[in-house]
Structure 1
């Protein structure tokens, strides 16, 4: 039995976290003994971690990465606090060159903090870093082979490429969640072509359909308007601000029988609330907040919408399709890898007007909704065999290592 470590940040509600839970639910525990390292032991999905997993103790230094600088100093992690201040200062110095500094600053946070982060004593045969940035597994774990996961469209984010290449160089393999995700990654890091393999997010259709039947407080059930639903973090990447503006356009076109429900939370919540109030949409654009089980809300929707600016592969889109819902996504770079336009979903223009036009199209074309729903019901979404690619990859790496040792 091989010892494996999987590392991620926490178990807050999100697509990456749900995809991790799904993967762990289907893992081969006859051949792998799995330790899970979470930097922070928090989140509504914690109870869903399979019992066969060993959850390692929380290490205080690693729990600092989503805390404020003030909290870090209060917790007496002085050196890590100083490293955070330095990363902020250096990012601010490059503000004019970096349109979206979030990823760049995150890289610097880890780079500057690395000397003050403890290593894990145990040595593993396989170590998987499930969430970028991957410095923990790259620098602080002893393992014969290391694998990093990518979930986003790297062509849309700004990073220090030299820093990233140094980090990626410490991994034997990199796994992308879709072909389009792989393609966009290699446009930025072409030198890594031989390392990248695709393993799709694991889905659990049976579990999703069962959870969709759960009896919960669901305001959609008694709402007779045309119901849009989005499940996403309230962040710039997910485009919820554009959704608010698109709904305003639809109202101005006289389509006042629409309501848009958002299931999720995030750093832009106050910005979104302000935008809703500014456009007087309080009764039409409704934030439901954080929900452990989003599926009853998706099931009650007339249309599932993903208004993202960029995605690797949106887990919630596949989950809506599993529930037989018509889905509409914006034309982000990886969109065509998720939806066959006009067959099992609809891809609209990535703009405020494009979102509004797409929703209006569905309202005026109920037959299109029925066709997409019918096509989704014919698709087999059970893909746990995707893990076979990972197992094969592990063995290939192992075999290559043995060959190298012999030579």
Structure 2
């Protein structure tokens, strides 16, 4: 029986975490012994972990990556705390000099790279080690395995990283998995020398599980009491997901006279305070509603009239596929990987990537009930289950990296 290590950050509410839980739910535990290394054993999705997984003990050094700098110092991880301060200062300088739009990825990369000498190795050797969440330094540098695999969940052409530093890290992996063809193409455009390592495995989704959770009666759902036309977005509150654009688009629709609409957002994140301030600035408190963290977002999806993904970029948003599983008409912005997410006019509608585009897409679907109904019917008639994708992963387990570490 092959020994498999899978590493990720935590099990907080998010698309990557749902994707990981879905993959682990479908895993073949008769053939593989799976250890799961979470840097922090926290998050609402911990309860979704399969019972056959062996959860490795936390390591204090790695847990700091889900802590603030102050908490890191309080935990007496002084060296790591100093590397965090240095990475933050360098990122702030680079942001000013290079006018970086979203420096979060760059800072995270520096944070890991600077801390590497202070991080312990995992003592056990594995047949296969999988790093599920970028940056992949833990598996790349601190795990011994015959085969190493890393995942890409985002459109790599849209994020800022140190190219040389990233390339050195990626070179430690035998296989790199993208969640869509478009995601693969964007990665290869950045790292042409790695093209032979990259393949596509879509996020593993279980339609029966999504449908079952959507019918859960344990959720207090204000959408059920709202008679207006209900839009919904499920997303982390971050620049990438474009909720700020959604607020502006919704205000534009209100100015055009569309007063019988409400937009609900399930999710949390660092932009929440700024978004609430923006909502108040536009006077939308009664119609643009942030619902916060929801362990089970599916009853909210089931209650909406139109699902909207206003993202600036995506790898392949699992929330969009889940909305389609529940037979909902979907509007997504035309981010670079959008065509891999929906087939336009068949099981979704792709609108222009702008505030005006989001407003126009919603207006089109609001006015055209026939189109909404057709999209919903098409979604309901499709099978979005893809457990077979795991066979692609198993086929990668046969490689050999004798002597790698």
TM-score range relative to shorter protein: over 0.9
| 3-state SS, counterpart of residue 237 of structure 1 | coil
Aligned to 1:207: 209
> TM-score, normalized by length of structure 2?
0.97
Aligned to 1:34: 34
Aligned to 1:369: 372
Q: Distance in 2 between matches of 1:48 and 1:93?
A: 41
Aligned to 1:318: 321
Aligned to 1:269: 272
Q: Distance in 1 between matches of 2:351 and 2:6?
A: 36
Q: Distance in 1 between matches of 2:29 and 2:341?
A: 30
Q: Distance in 1 between matches of 2:231 and 2:63?
A: 36
Aligned to 1:358: 361
Aligned to 2:25: 25
Aligned to 2:196: 194
Aligned to 1:223: 226
Matched ranges for 1:136-285 at <5 A: 136-215=138-217, 216-285=219-288
Q: Distance in 1 between matches of 2:10 and 2:46?
A: 8
| 3-state SS, counterpart of residue 105 of structure 1 | helix
Structure 1: 4+ residue segments shifted above 2 A: none
Aligned to 1:8: 8
Aligned to 1:304: 307
Q: Distance in 2 between matches of 1:340 and 1:315?
A: 15
Q: Distance in 1 between matches of 2:234 and 2:61?
A: 31
> TM-score, normalized by length of structure 1?
0.97
| 3-state SS, counterpart of residue 229 of structure 1 | strand
Does residue 84 of structure 2 align to residue 84 of structure 1? yes
Structure 1 spans left out of the alignment, 5+ residues: none
Structure 2 spans left out of the alignment, 5+ residues: none
Q: Distance in 1 between matches of 2:396 and 2:78?
A: 41
Aligned to 1:288: 291
Residue deviations 1:15-66 (CA, integer Å, cap 9, x gap): 0000000000000111110000000011010011001000001111101113
Counterpart of 1:329 (choices 327, 332, 348) is 332
Give the CA deviation at 1:92. 2.0
Give the CA deviation at 1:378. 1.4
Q: Distance in 2 between matches of 1:222 and 1:337?
A: 35
Give the CA deviation at 1:235. 0.5
Residue deviations 1:347-394 (CA, integer Å, cap 9, x gap): 011100100011111111000001001111111111100000011122
| 3-state SS, counterpart of residue 266 of structure 1 | coil
| 3-state SS, counterpart of residue 346 of structure 2 | coil
Aligned to 1:45: 45
Give the CA deviation at 1:171. 0.3
Give the CA deviation at 1:93. 2.2
| 3-state SS, counterpart of residue 236 of structure 1 | coil
Give the CA deviation at 1:217. 1.1
Residue deviations 1:317-346 (CA, integer Å, cap 9, x gap): 000000000001000010000100111000
| 3-state SS, counterpart of residue 384 of structure 1 | coil
Please tell me whether the aligned partners of residues 264 and 288 of structure 2 are also in contact (alpha carbons under 8 angstroms): yes
Q: Distance in 2 between matches of 1:107 and 1:170?
A: 16
Give the CA deviation at 1:229. 0.5
Give the CA deviation at 1:277. 0.3
Q: Distance in 1 between matches of 2:244 and 2:101?
A: 18
Q: Distance in 2 between matches of 1:103 and 1:184?
A: 16
| 3-state SS, counterpart of residue 29 of structure 1 | coil
Please tell me whether the aligned partners of residues 72 and 80 of structure 2 are also in contact (alpha carbons under 8 angstroms): yes
Aligned to 2:93: 93
TM-align CA RMSD: 1.2
Q: Distance in 2 between matches of 1:89 and 1:297?
A: 40
Q: Distance in 2 between matches of 1:110 and 1:251?
A: 45
| 3-state SS, counterpart of residue 292 of structure 1 | coil
Counterpart of 2:114 (choices 103, 109, 112) is 112
Q: Distance in 2 between matches of 1:285 and 1:91?
A: 33
Q: Distance in 2 between matches of 1:141 and 1:159?
A: 23
May I ask how many residue pairs the two structures share in their alignment?
A: 401
Please tell me whether the aligned partners of residues 8 and 37 of structure 2 are also in contact (alpha carbons under 8 angstroms): yes
Residue deviations 1:260-307 (CA, integer Å, cap 9, x gap): 000010000000000000000000000111001100100010000000
